Amino acid sequence: MLSNEVSEILNKQTAVEADASHAYLALASWCEERNLPGIAEYFYAAAEDERAHFLEMVKYINAHQAPAVIQAVSHPRSSFVNLLEVFQYVWDLEHNNTLNINNVADVCLKNKDFATYKFMEAFVMEQQNAEKSVEDLIHMIKTLGHDERSLYYINKNFQKLVAKAAAGGEAN
């Protein structure tokens, strides 16, 4: 059974994951509208990943007799000047999620809930990878630029990235 403090913070984290999933869907729409289907696929996959995290946490909470409380999702941001701004927003989103995940892990340790801490370990490591991969993408976008021709190549690169992730793991 989870302590009140652990179940409360983990419940809050389920909402963060659900919000992240919605945020990525809004970004997929932004890309679809601008004829960038490769980048849209990357965001659809990221939305699925966040939804999977949400479900995993909900099931974990319910499996340990602390009912998961399903909350309303926040209205996602959908207005951006360009693709660089989109990915800078993605970095903020992931970094904010890292801080939240680390906080959950911290509360687990303070409550001597080593089992839930162990459950959180995969999320901690995944956040580190997510931030690194977004940093690499920002570097690519800054290097290639934003003109029509660059966006064409960037979109192609994302198509390859999504295919690679589908073959071996998560896109984000």
Cβ at position 152, least distance to Fe ion in Å: 30
Alpha carbons 31 and 124: distance in angstroms, whole number: 29
Contacts (CB under 5 A) with Fe ion, residues 4-23: 17
Q: Report if residue 120 touches Fe ion, rule: CB under 5 A.
A: no
Which residue number, 51 or 146, has a Cβ lying nearer to Fe ion?
Answer: 51
Per CB under 5 A, the segment of 38-46, 50-58, 83-91, 163-171 that binds Fe ion is 50-58
Alpha carbons 83 and 167: distance in angstroms, whole number: 26
Amino acid occupying residue 91:
W
Which residue number, 124 or 144, has a Cβ lying nearer to Fe ion?
Answer: 124
Q: Report if residue 53 touches Fe ion, rule: CB under 5 A.
A: yes
- Rg over CA atoms, the chain: 17
Number of H helices, E strands in the chain: 5, 0
| Dihedral sign for Cα atoms in the order 97, 102, 107, 111 | positive
Q: Residue number with the shortest CB distance to Fe ion?
A: 53
Q: 112, 11 in Cβ contact below 8 A?
A: no
Contacts (CB under 5 A) with Fe ion, residues 71-110: none
Which residue number, 53 or 61, has a Cβ lying nearer to Fe ion?
Answer: 53
Cβ at position 37, least distance to Fe ion in Å: 24
Applying CB under 5 A, the residues found at the interface with Fe ion are: 17, 50, 53
